[in-house]
Amino acid sequence: MENGYLTLETGEVFEGVLIGAEKDSLGEVVFNTSMTGYQEIITDPSYAGQIITFCYPIIGNYGINAVDNESISPALAGVVIGDLCETPSHYQSINKFSEKLKQAGVPGIAGVDTRLLVKTIRSRGTVKGVISKSNEAYVPSTTKTPHWVEKVSTKKMQYFKNSGPHVVLMDYGCKKSILNALLEENCAVTIVPYQTSYEKIKSLNPDGILLSNGPGDPMELKKWFPEIKKITQSYPSLGICLGHQLIALAYGAKTTKLAYGHRGGNHPVKELNTGKVKITAQNHGYVVVDESINEKEFAVTYRNVNDQSIEGLHHKTYPIQTVQFHPEAHPGPSDTEYILKDFVSQIASLGENVYAVK
């Protein structure tokens, strides 16, 4: 293996060995604290344009299987790991982690002191970095953020037949697990591109709307906020992660970027009406600003135990609910899978379109 370097825009350089695709790569350097689930993480479209640092020291020990991809093509910019395991042991394994990266065209670097790198990110805040053969790589300070949602959203509508209620899944970078969770609840699902209009969705005659997770700054989608507001005022709606932020923004709230985001499978979240704490899977860099919520319209339903940030909202008039975390998990705990089940039960019990607020 050839020596390589991760160079941060703040000047720090981390040495390791190059794995995966043989090319330089620029991205926002973030870290994920999950102990398992590296296959789901590298195929999650929400990581588009980012270089993921895995906190867990050994990656690749159970290989890559044929069922756990969250998307067809990984959209992340790169991977940073400590120890690379090239001799995976699992009955479902069909490939090595390093080979998966290579086939997907994703560069990586192994043998890095990831503990020091994570401490650096936590002290500096999320920074851009370059994976390269050179220890003097230039990190360009781009001012314009790419429109990552446009890159990962579906380009055409896809319909999945089923006997239950019809859910339109607005794809901002949707994980396969969200689709699977809806199908397991017997929903018929139409996946639509992120910029689909209210009129087009109305013509699909849905029973409910789910706004998916996705990458990047939610303000990149500002021009579609009026459409999102009309859609959610007309049908029972659930927003997950980026979908949560978009619904809040569409109703006049604001978002802000966290210093280094919430990414991992062990984030404690308190359900405010019961006082119970759930352990959740999270992957986001932005949060809804507390003071920007119109308390006459929305009630906060969940809060992050660690930093008290908003983790869920419920509209007081319309059947709209949002969560900042991932109730479908994959990877992560299934403490909050009831949220998707309750959403489907709600739209099913109300009957076909009789509850739509016109």
Hey, what domains does the chain have and what are their CATH numbers?
3-132 (3.50.30.20), 148-350 (3.40.50.880)
Say which DSSP state 329 is in: -
- Residue 272's identity, in one-letter code, is L
Average pLDDT over all residues of the chain? 94
Average confidence (pLDDT) over 262-287: 96
- Tell me, what's the pLDDT at 354? 41
Q: CA triplet 241, 200, 337: central angle to 5 degrees?
A: 30
pLDDT tens per residue, range 42-97: 999 999 999 999 999 999 999 999 999 999 989 999 999 999 999 999 999 999 99
User: Which of 134, 135, 129 is closest to 117 using CA atoms?
Assistant: 129
Position 138 confidence tier, pLDDT thresholds 50, 70, 90: confident
- pLDDT at position 351, please? 63
Number of residues that this document lists for the chain: 358
Over residues 195-213, the pLDDT tens digits come to 999 999 999 999 999 999 9
- Indicate the burial class of 9 (C-beta count within 10 angstroms; 0-12, 13-18, 19 or more): middle
Distance of alpha carbon 56 from alpha carbon 35, whole angstroms: 5
The DSSP letter of residue 185 is: T
268 burial (CB, 10 Å; 0-12 / 13-18 / 19+) is middle
Q: 155-202 pLDDT, tens per residue?
A: 999 999 999 999 999 999 999 999 999 999 999 999 999 999 999 999
Q: Using the 8-state DSSP alphabet, how is residue 64 labeled?
A: B
Average pLDDT over every residue of 263-279 = 97
For residue 357, pLDDT over 50 is answered with: no
Whether the pLDDT of residue 353 is over 60: the answer is no
Active site residues: 241, 326, 328
Nearest C-alpha neighbor of 323 from the set 272, 258, 260, 259: 272
State pLDDT tens for residues 281-291.
999 999 999 99
User: By the 8 A CB rule, do 301 and 271 touch?
Assistant: yes
Looking up tokens 């927003």, which residue turns up?
239
